[in-house]
Structure 1
Amino acid sequence: MELENKNVLILGLGVSGVSTVKALNKLGANIIISDSKKEDELKDFLKSIELYSVKLFLGTNDVPLDDIDLIVKSPGIPLDIPIIEKAKKLNIEVITDIELAYRIIPKNKFIAITGTNGKTTTTTLMGEILKKAGYSCHITGNIGVGILWEAVNSKKEDIFVIEASSFQLESIDKFKPKVSAIINITPDHINWHKTYENYINSKKKVFKNQDKTDFTVLNYDDEVLRNTKDNINSNIIWFSVNSKLNNGVYIDGKDIVISHYGKIVKVMPWKEIKIPGKHNLENALSSIAIGWAMGIDVEDMADVLRSFEGVEHRIEYVTSIEGVKFYNDSKGTNSDASIKAIEALEPPLIVIAGGKDKGTDFDDFIKSFKGKVKALILLGETKDKIKETAIKYGFNNIYIVGSMNEAVNKSFKIGNSGDTVLLSPACASWDMYESFEERGKDFKEAVYNLKED
């Protein structure tokens, strides 16, 4: 895609925005940046681009569009804001970074991994598997690494493993991965997508441009995904924790196996996977399916799965103090993710939850407690909403707090030796923090401070 001397407007100066600035500068584009945040809120990002020639519109999205050739928006910016509506009327294309990356390097192999939960773990795990197999790869996307700067500095043989969010996928047009994967779909981001159906459809866009030369990895245990097979033109590879498959990756007794048209290939005993929990078994099976599509040796995949310890902020063991264990699951940004964390750990649990309201309910979250959770500590925008739901289902041991530090101190005060304190908010972080990473770090700092008291 030719961008030299084109006027490109970047909407939103976050991680992806900085990467986009650097890439567009290298490609010779004229760069305009708009962000509704003011200069003092963006100082770290502005410092990252201070050497580049850009025109800034900060604290506003009221930008003249007369000479704009293309808009690259930060994934989380809604499509119904006035500047995007105006761009559509002027026939100015609005895309996200993964779409532009594909247009810049369409011959590179892209692996796009999406789903409501498990994206980060699977993307990271897949990157480790590719590295073990000797490939040069880039781990990018929603995982916190902007793809465009990686793309313009890549080689033809490089592979891109992309954690693709529903926000990114909503604005794709030509993006065509060699392998796409949807790990699962449950309600999330309804406040952004407006309906669950819209959210599902955004996820399905990951395979919309694929053909018979490509592969799509799907979770057979997920009814939404099982019913979508007729819409797919690529080669489907199923994975399942619960069912034996004629073609796909599944559990057969003690082993993970690949069934390929009657031929059975043993990968490894499933109990040898290092990361805990049924949800991580799903992540492992999806990674094996992707690896199989890419032609990676099963021994390389098994070696990585035996040593891979997971990712920060996802059921991450922090420390033990006086017999009380602390786990950081700040990546649990929706009910389904937090349910998986509760299922993965041994009781009794003290759960810290609450945060930004994304328009979903918390019934299933509370129902998952099933005698495992002894106390619930709530903070953030959704604290009252979750409390009301808990009381509705007869769970009353609830504490309302105003900060993470207070939550951690309360959990330790009511905890006993043998208890586990789990931060798994079931909500986004944006009411109190810039990101789930910042929230997780705040939790860990508060836990470590207990040792110093």
Structure 2
Amino acid sequence: MKKDFNEFKKFIKDKKVGVVGIGVSNIPLINFLLELGAKVTAFDMKNEEDLGDVAIDFKNKGVKLSLGENYLDNLTGFDVVFKTPSMRIDSEALVRVSKEGAYITSEMEEFVRYCKGKIFGVTGSDGKTTTTTIISKLLIEEGYKTWVGGNIGTPLFSRIEEIEEKDMVVLELSSFQLMTMDLPMEVAVCTNLAPNHLDMHKDMQEYIDAKKNVFKYADESGILVINRENEITYGFRNEFKGEIREFSSNREIKDGAYYKDGVLYLDGKEVCKREDIVIKGMHNVENYLAAFAAVKDDVSIKSMKRVCETFTGVEHRCEFVREIDGVKYYNDSIASSPTRTLAGLRAFERKVILIAGGYDKHIPFAPLAKEGHEFIKELIVMGDTKELIKDAFKKLKEEEGIDITIEEATSLEDAVNIAKRIAKPGDIVTLAPACASFDMFKNFMIRGNKFKEIINNL
């Protein structure tokens, strides 16, 4: 039973509230808390000049600001603290304020606690954004009012009173958002799990444990969708009290979603043929299968088929940019892990010129070399991880005698110019970095947009 939001309104009124992070999701959160009568202090590493109009607006509304290098020193004496997703619960500042008796939470936790609509929580190492989007498209096609949030879409907590019981809510949830989540969701989806974000998590087990929170608190009425072909997610079936729904691209599943001989099936019924799906690649077949299993109580096969035939994909995911002199350029900036890059490479039917490299998340690049070499014509490396990627391919050459030509770039623009120089008519160039963007760009979207801008200016 969902909690009544009026309880939160009474609870938060006149409370001294700290909000850590003045980013995209927290700006509407701060404004919402002000509307509800909270006394808000906002914390951010940026200074007032960097925040610009946002800082001016908040100061005019009576929000106190704690900014700059030592911004968390003032996180003390609060009743409630909303943390930013990437802030670990065991960070010194949060431990201190928690010991003082503060209630520590996040925008996403409070949203799940009070949201009246049916929630589909989607997580995984790869494919979660596309799967989240497909689920939302399926529900919209069936006629439901559908809200999309979490890692994508719009911040939803400030709009919680607009969401009705009959509405559908689809949330893409990262391991950071899930680390402190202890609330049930009606439908949980875990696309797959592989090493990721090991720069933020203590180890792989902590990363897996965070992901488990998407289903851990559900009761017998809950639904969990898992990938039969991923050893880690398949293991979750032993820990879940509710209904398990499996999907597979490799075997027939009687009461699940599966792919066989060029056709996608749900509970033994044909949904569509692989060739009918607009977005290419076996990873997208798997994303569709996960989505079918998640929504089968609410969406007809007819609606599923229509979405397969019309959905053109999500920006920055194997997105075709332009053809120049017979060379096609693709933007797969979302590919911030080796496994996601591999999935994108497999979607092409020929070897490609790959642009890779970026911020180091402490994920090994050996799989990119060992499994990816057969899809790579030439490799262009850039960013903080370029030496690590080169080392993985050097080891491949030493151990297996497989030699991939590697060029080094000093920037994304330099990488594109190298690609243009070496590409021949009929070639494919793809930006699929296998790394986060933070060494050069604020996020993968800015990186992808910059790539498209460079290509369109060639």
Scaled by the length of structure 1, the TM-score of the pair is 0.94
Indicate the residue corresponding to 1:416 in structure 2. Answer: 424
1:324 to 2:324 alignment? no
Indicate the residue corresponding to 1:428 in structure 2. Answer: 436
Q: Deviations over 1:6-63 (max 9, x none)?
A: 2221111111211311332232222211112222333365477576431111111111
Number of aligned residue pairs: give it.
442
CA contact (8 A) 2:75 2:97 kept: no
Matches of 1:88 and 1:349, distance apart in 2: 51
Following superposition, the deviation at residue 306 of structure 1 comes to 1.0
Indicate the residue corresponding to 1:85 in structure 2. Answer: 95
Q: Deviations over 1:347-366 (max 9, x none)?
A: 23111111110011100011
CA contact (8 A) 1:113 1:119 kept: yes
Following superposition, the deviation at residue 154 of structure 1 comes to 2.5
Q: Deviations over 1:141-166 (max 9, x none)?
A: 11152221232432333221100000
Matches of 1:322 and 1:356, distance apart in 2: 32
Indicate the residue corresponding to 1:276 in structure 2. Answer: 280
Structure 2 residue runs of 5 or longer lacking an equivalent are 1-7, 398-402
Cα 1:301–1:22 change in 2 (3 A) is farther
* Matched ranges for 1:1-400 at <5 A: 1=8, 2-43=11-52, 45-46=54-55, 52-59=61-68, 60-66=71-77, 68-105=78-115, 107-173=116-182, 175-259=183-267, 264-292=268-296, 294-394=297-397, 395-400=403-408
CA contact (8 A) 1:98 1:148 kept: yes
SS at match of 1:187: coil
SS at match of 1:176: coil
Matches of 2:168 and 2:138, distance apart in 1: 12
Q: Deviations over 1:119-158 (max 9, x none)?
A: 1111111111111111111111111522212324323332
Matches of 2:261 and 2:245, distance apart in 1: 20
SS at match of 1:91: coil
417-426 or 78-87: bigger deviation: 78-87
Matches of 1:427 and 1:42, distance apart in 2: 27
Q: Deviations over 1:332-380 (max 9, x none)?
A: 0011000111111132311111111001110001122333312111111
CA contact (8 A) 1:348 1:418 kept: no
Indicate the residue corresponding to 2:3 in structure 1. Answer: none
Whichever residue aligns with residue 447 of structure 1, its letter is: I
Matches of 1:146 and 1:402, distance apart in 2: 36
Matches of 2:143 and 2:134, distance apart in 1: 14
Cα 1:376–1:272 change in 2 (3 A) is same
CA contact (8 A) 2:249 2:260 kept: no
229-238 or 323-332: bigger deviation: 229-238
SS at match of 1:74: coil
Q: Deviations over 1:383-406 (max 9, x none)?
A: 111111111112351111111111
Structure 1 residue runs of 5 or longer lacking an equivalent are none
Matches of 1:25 and 1:184, distance apart in 2: 39
52-61 or 21-30: bigger deviation: 21-30
162-171 or 25-34: bigger deviation: 25-34
Q: Deviations over 1:270-303 (max 9, x none)?
A: 32111100100110001111111x4211111111
CA contact (8 A) 2:373 2:404 kept: no
SS at match of 1:351: strand
Scaled by the length of structure 2, the TM-score of the pair is 0.93
SS at match of 1:386: helix
Cα 1:46–1:281 change in 2 (3 A) is farther
